[in-house]
């Protein structure tokens, strides 16, 4: 039977659309590592160091359980209230976080900030399991090499880094954990971006902080901006709702990357209060 020309054209367009959809789905599935981890934006080269801010610091070399060499900075405070273990977001490297390092130093914190595998001067290739290993390596460095008690270590993750901090917070007794501009999970984010695709089936990365919150037994502070254009504000609220007590929520103003600077006074005050609330409780 010969199909009418119009029907042939419709079928051709439908098949073409289906083919393009399949190609897009295959691209999403195979390219997830590069879509989630962006070490080359703006670049892997370190643009500056804490020395530019007048801080003494140490270049730290860490070897993970699977023999990947990581690079980081340890910026000591002369009279530290605690030590901050800082996990940054999915783009750039540690040199792009000097404004945060300066702020945390002003709060009386020593800081260890690392680049994940595949970022900055760290070797390897990023992956979810690998980043969790990197986080564990940084924790062990502070506990074993620096002999810092767990109750004097404050876990902090911004954006993707929140997944690393939440992971550690379920395993170790730290002073507390702060998650800033963090998503509940990669599948949750993907489902919001592509509601017409079966992204939960396609996801090879999960970073499921949402499921981990109930298992965290240390003090929690969630920070998120209602104007965050990358990670919806609701993700922060869900993380907060799923966390156990004691917990607190700080709502920022401003965008995803610079909301903390655009709300700097409120941001600093809440950090100071959070530290003060638990630094005395954990004195041995």
Q: Which residues are catalytic?
A: 159, 228, 256
The dihedral region occupied by 67, where left means phi > 0, alpha psi between -120 and 50, and beta the remainder, is: left
Where is 262: in which H helix or E strand?
A: helix 259-262
Q: Are strands 69-75 and 58-63 parallel, antiparallel or unpaired?
A: antiparallel
Three-state SS for 38? strand
**What angle separates helix 98-106 from helix 264-279, to the nearest 10 degrees?**
50
3-state secondary structure of 12: helix
The distance of Cα 241 from the centroid of its chain, to the nearest Å, equals 19
Measured at the CA of 138, the angle between CA 155 and CA 54, to 5 degrees, comes to 80
Beta strands, E only, the chain: 58-63, 69-75, 82-87, 109-114, 153-158, 176-180, 220-225, 247-252
Pairing of strands 220-225, 176-180: parallel
CA angle in degrees (0–180, nearest 5) for 91-163-75: 65
Distance CA 150, CA 133 (A): 18
Q: Which residues of 152-165 are buried (b: 16+ CB within 10 A; e: fewer)?
A: bbbbbbbbbbbbbb
């Amino acid at each position: 039977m010969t199909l009418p020309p119009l029907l042939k054209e419709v079928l051709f367009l439908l098949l073409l659309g289906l083919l393009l959809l399949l190609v897009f789905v295959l691209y999403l599935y195979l390219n997830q590592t590069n879509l989630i981890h962006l070490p080359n934006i703006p670049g892997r080269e370190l643009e500056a160091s804490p020395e530019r801010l007048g801080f003494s610091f140490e270049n730290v070399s860490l070897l993970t359980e699977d023999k990947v060499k990581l690079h980081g900075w340890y910026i000591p405070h002369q009279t530290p209230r605690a030590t901050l273990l800082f996990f940054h977001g999915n783009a750039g490297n540690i040199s792009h976080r000097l404004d945060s390092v300066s702020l945390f130093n002003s709060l009386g914190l020593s800081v260890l900030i690392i680049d994940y595998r595949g970022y900055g001067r760290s070797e390897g290739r990023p992956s979810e399991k690998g980043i969790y290993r990197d986080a564990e390596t940084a924790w062990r460095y502070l506990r074993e090499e620096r002999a810092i008690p767990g109750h004097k270590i404050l876990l902090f993750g911004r954006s993707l880094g929140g997944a690393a901090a939440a992971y550690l917070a379920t395993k170790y007794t730290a002073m507390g954990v702060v998650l800033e501009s963090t998503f509940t999970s990669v599948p949750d984010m993907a489902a919001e971006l592509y509601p017409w695709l079966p992204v939960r089936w396609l996801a090879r990365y999960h970073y499921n902080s949402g499921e981990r919150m109930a298992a965290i037994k240390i003090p929690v502070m969630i920070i998120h901006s209602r104007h965050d254009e990358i990670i919806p504000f609701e993700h922060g609220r869900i993380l907060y709702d799923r966390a156990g007590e004691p917990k607190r929520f700080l709502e920022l103003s401003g965008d995803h990357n610079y909301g903390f600077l655009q709300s700097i006074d409120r941001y600093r005050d809440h950090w100071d209060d959070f530290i003060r609330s638990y630094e005395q409780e954990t004195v041995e």
